Structure 1
Amino acid sequence: MSRAKGGEGGFSALTIAVILIVGVVALAGIGVLSAYAPELKSGNDGKAHPLSRASVGFGALPRLLGDLGVPVVMSRGPLTEASEGGLLVLTPTMETNPEQIEDFDHLGPTLIVLPKWSAAPHPKQSGWVSTGGTLPAEAALQPLPDGLGEATGLAERQERSTVRLRRPNGAPFGAPVQVDSLRTLQGGGWIPVVLDERGGIVLGMDPTSHVYVLADPDLINTQGLKTLAGARTAVELLAIVRADGMPVIFDLTLHGFQRTRSLLRLMLEPPLLGMTLALVALALLGGYQAAVRFGPARVTGPVFAAGKRGLADNTAALVRIARREPHMAAPYALIVRAIVARAIGAPRGLSDEALDEFLDRVSRISGTQDTYSALAAEARDVKTPGDLLRVAGALHRWNQELTRARQ
């Protein structure tokens, strides 16, 4: 029968160290990824927003504007002062509440692109969609805040047609484009900005809030930009409402891509990043100290020791705290006198003076270094703990000399 050798582990120290390092790095990576997860999403989910590259999405428009030198901002949080003069593009869906749009506090121009298509993600191809027809006019107008959607309707063509856009003064606008079921605004007191050849308002402005509304998203979404004429028309549509040199801000918060605030994210960004690095350094130093320590850990006893030794230690601690050590010299000399008298068989019934004289005679006969009377006098004159130790040592030595001589 074979027997395994004792003392051999299953893994070497190097293997364990590598496993620990890989585990720590993986855990740190998971923490960082979870903190920045919303910003790391590609957004290509087949929905109608500026990150989607589906036919109903607007992912192609920011890229086209960037290639043309137009400043583009993908907004994931509250608008800053630097974006006041830019064009804010909102692409709500029929699930968007009007209050969400009202919450935007933007001093520059705002363009609301109404939803049009009822679409669902493609079951086999990621990022693609399957369209199920156009949304009802009421559903498409539902995201508009109060005051914008009142008495407003949508007119819709029933076929795919070539649309020729023009300005209110009759000047042609953009290039002819093919659009399925073109939608235009009706009623509501809209100020026309861009019309179709039949006089329908494609792009209108509210006279009170100066908010622009685009009735048909196919003029600027990915489906509309698949041709050169469609790309040209989309760029010119945005150029009408955007001031020269100002950026185009595509909002992503309406679609759940906002930048969230969390404790982990705050710890990974200034000014708390310095504290996080300090904590990591302390953890590394603590691990290093635990790895290179010498000897086993010291076993600590109970706070209050039991037994005679504990009682003596506690009593000594109390005397030391009260600063009464020098006053213990004279009582200690009396205790030593009693011990020595009993050990050498001194006569009983002697008075203190007679006993001191008897012990002095025995000391001189025994040839001890000191006499008890001299030691007792020194004990009565003790002033400091150092003097106490010196006198106690002399009394102990006198005790040992006298008792050994007697034995």
Structure 2
Amino acid sequence: MSDVAFGRPANDATLFRGRTVALMLAIGIAGFAAMLVLGAYAPDLRSGRNGGGHALSNAVTGYAGLVALAEATGRQPRIVRSARDFDTEDLLVVTPETSGIDVSEALTQRTSRPTLFILPKWRTVRDEDHEGWARYQGILPLSEPIGVLSPGVRFTMRHYRSGGGVLTARGVPGRFWKPRPIQVITGIDPDNDEQDDRWRKLTPLLTDGKGGIVLGQVGEGPLYVLADPDLLNNRGMKDVTQARAALALLDWINSTGAEGVAFDVSLNGLGHSRSPLKLLFEPPFLAMTLTILAALLLAGIHAFGRFGPPRARTRAVALGKAALVDNSALLIRKAGREARLGGRYAAAIRDRAARAFGVPARLRDGALDQHLDSLKAQHRFTDLAQAVQAASDRHSLLEAAQALHDWQGEKAK
């Protein structure tokens, strides 16, 4: 029996043509690659247009206008989505939207590097009619901006209707207008038992002229706090004078070794963790990824490019005497009956020796054995034949059969 049909298959027996298969493979590979890339960079592709107060928001309380302005003027702004990127000499602008956000990591890593915290002010909701916009609902309670840096730094604050005017600058470049209403820091809470000694000093840089601090330096290091976000958010960027002053303020705060300005959005819920999948598309692992892709491409080309005519499948059961002998030997070996063939082999050698040595035809059985023993040889035929019949395993049978075969060859010389 065979599982291979006789005859040659027809040329039109294939289900799909080669071009169809190639097209299907190309589409599948392209789709799979696109899925991997999008899965790796999906967090970076989030627009952040949720009406929040962060650097990706185009709402009135967001800072997308400041980022776009810094980009247009060559200040090289970048969006930070992970706390690992806080380790930079660039000015880091942090915009926490509530007091419940943990800013301790930013404070710990930025003790000697310029950092600007912009405190929250407005309570907003998303504008359902315009994607990315926000609607005012009023001013946040003072507990929200006060709690941003608490308990290490706890301010006393107030907000009131300013009536407009110009803020008083103390060494800060630019001309800022007073927001309406305005939110200011009045000092550091003296009753805060958990106050960090490093930040007990508060130096006013922008004031309202009434004892309120709009921009202050906390401690002796480059830690700055902006009490009213309307100086730098999209609402404040509508005025050309204030926009120019905002850029001058960023340059003034930034360190001499800085290469740009970093705007953090990880504390606004737009961060991401390190992705192993993303590592495949970035140096130094990008070279390995490209090498693997090239190897797969070459393997695919090799699979489609056949060398020589196709080889037909072999039969499950071969034809011919040799195949019959091989199959029979295999069955005997599988059955473990090889040792029982010794007697038949001895009988076959006896018959061949009788014909080869011209033994008279009348001699049979014992008489034939006596005649073969009488022939001059190193060993007697009957001893060798008994050794073959007495073999109990494959190895002993092989040795005895070989000796009997050598006896026959010795007498044939």
Instruction: Output the TM-score relative to the length of structure 1.
Output: 0.71
Distance 1:230 1:289 in 2: 65
Uncovered stretches (5+) of structure 2, i.e. residues with no partner: 1-10, 189-200, 318-325, 356-360, 385-397
Distance 1:14 1:75 in 2: 46
- The CA deviation string for residues 14-42 of structure 1, in whole angstroms up to 9 with x for no partner, is 23321221121011111111101112223
Residue 183 (structure 1) aligns with: 183
Q: Given the superposition, is the C-alpha separation of residues 121 and 108 from structure 1 closer, same or farther in structure 2, using an over 3 Å criterion?
A: same
Aligned residue runs from structure 1 range 30-179, under 5 A: 30-78=35-83, 83-84=88-89, 86-94=90-98, 95-105=100-110, 107-149=112-154, 152-158=155-161, 161-168=163-170, 174-175=174-175, 177=177, 179=179
> SS at 1:133's partner residue?
strand
Out of 26, 32, 43, the position equivalent to 1:27 is 32
Distance 1:48 1:172 in 2: 24
Distance 2:74 2:353 in 1: 112
Letter in 1 for 2:184: T
Cα contact 2:179–2:230 (8 A) shared by 1: yes
How many equivalent residue pairs? 351
* Structure 1 position 264, deviation (Å): 1.7
Distance 1:221 1:249 in 2: 15
Letter in 2 for 1:67: A
Q: Among the aligned pairs, what percent are the same residue?
A: 29
Aligned residue runs from structure 1 range 194-343, under 5 A: 194-207=206-219, 210-244=222-256, 246=258, 247-292=260-305, 294-295=310-311, 308-311=328-331, 334-340=346-352
Distance 2:136 2:313 in 1: 71
Distance 1:134 1:233 in 2: 25
Distance 1:13 1:113 in 2: 62
Q: Given the superposition, is the C-alpha separation of residues 98 and 75 from structure 1 closer, same or farther in structure 2, using an over 3 Å criterion?
A: closer
Cα contact 1:99–1:145 (8 A) shared by 2: no
Q: Given the superposition, is the C-alpha separation of residues 67 and 286 from structure 1 closer, same or farther in structure 2, using an over 3 Å criterion?
A: closer
* Structure 1 position 157, deviation (Å): 1.5
* Structure 1 position 288, deviation (Å): 4.3
Q: Given the superposition, is the C-alpha separation of residues 351 and 281 from structure 1 closer, same or farther in structure 2, using an over 3 Å criterion?
A: same
> SS at 1:107's partner residue?
coil
Distance 1:376 1:199 in 2: 130
Q: Given the superposition, is the C-alpha separation of residues 139 and 20 from structure 1 closer, same or farther in structure 2, using an over 3 Å criterion?
A: same
Distance 2:285 2:344 in 1: 64
Letter in 2 for 1:180: R
Cα contact 1:101–1:144 (8 A) shared by 2: no
- The CA deviation string for residues 346-377 of structure 1, in whole angstroms up to 9 with x for no partner, is 323237552255xx8xxxxxxxxxxx969999
- The CA deviation string for residues 204-257 of structure 1, in whole angstroms up to 9 with x for no partner, is 122266521100000011110101122123223334422356332212221233
Distance 1:211 1:105 in 2: 8
Moved more, 96-105 or 174-183: 96-105
Report the RMSD for the aligned CA atoms in angstroms: 4.3
Residue 347 (structure 1) aligns with: 364
Letter in 2 for 1:349: G
